[in-house]
Chain A
């Protein structure tokens, strides 16, 4: 079965820092990869789909890249409102597996 491995599982960075989260698929999924942000106590929100396409309304400091099995979510300048857990999701084929999540905190 498909496995989605995110790293790191958590990170702490300063406001203004560049933050990078990686997601590795156990099988090739082309660019069928989405990134979600879930703030504490809130519902997940779609940030990026098709590996690199920004969902409408999402700040441009979020950037997705990658194809095949290796993907990256980059926050170019971390803001206090970016404190959240970030999840990748494969939607190439069922099961539409989520990664384990990366918790981002402010140092």
Chain B
């Protein structure tokens, strides 16, 4: 059974940093593109970032480019999202998601971790 378990969310002040983790199991992590999607309270889904299976190619939404960094450790089956220079508008539930294949839709999602940016 595929499982994606996010961690690392919490309350952070504007300008601060957080690192989210997503522990994956139930599939061969190293062969799949992975991504992060966020959802602000009461709002729609917003794609944040993707990383290919090897970690060599990364993609970002304009809203986080230069502030967030996606990475993965295939030896640990873990996906990361380093978030710097956080803003109030980054407040959201952050979901880790597995792509069906490279450059594809997301067939499995984690339960999400909540990030709140507030003073």
What total of chain A residues lie within 8 Å of the partner, measured CB to CB? 23
Q: What interface size band does chain B fall in?
A: 20 to 34
Q: How far is the CA of A101 from the CA of B37 in the complex (A)?
A: 14
Residue in contact with B107 in the complex, picked from A46, A89, A100, CB distance below 8 Å:
A46
Collect the chain B residues with CB atoms within 8 Å of residue A7's CB: none
Segment touching A, from B18-26, B42-50, B74-82: B42-50
User: Could you tell me which residues of chain B, from 45 to 75, have a CB within 8 Å of some CB in chain A?
Assistant: 45-47, 50, 59-62
Residue in contact with A97 in the complex, picked from B47, B95, B107, B110, CB distance below 8 Å:
B47
A20 within 8 A of B: no
Residue in contact with B105 in the complex, picked from A85, A91, A95, CB distance below 8 Å:
A91
**B111/A43 in contact, CB under 8 A:** yes
Q: How far is the CA of A99 from the CA of B62 in the complex (A)?
A: 16
Collect the chain A residues with CB atoms within 8 Å of residue B106's CB: 34, 36, 44, 46
**B46/A49 in contact, CB under 8 A:** no
**A43/B45 in contact, CB under 8 A:** no
Chain A positions within 8 Å of B, measured between CB atoms, are 1, 32, 34, 36, 38, 43-46, 49, 55, 85, 87, 89, 91, 94-101
Q: List 16 A-B contacts (CB under 8 A).
A: A32-B103, A38-B45, A44-B37, A44-B45, A45-B109, A49-B104, A49-B105, A87-B45, A91-B104, A95-B59, A95-B60, A98-B37, A98-B45, A98-B46, A100-B44, A101-B45
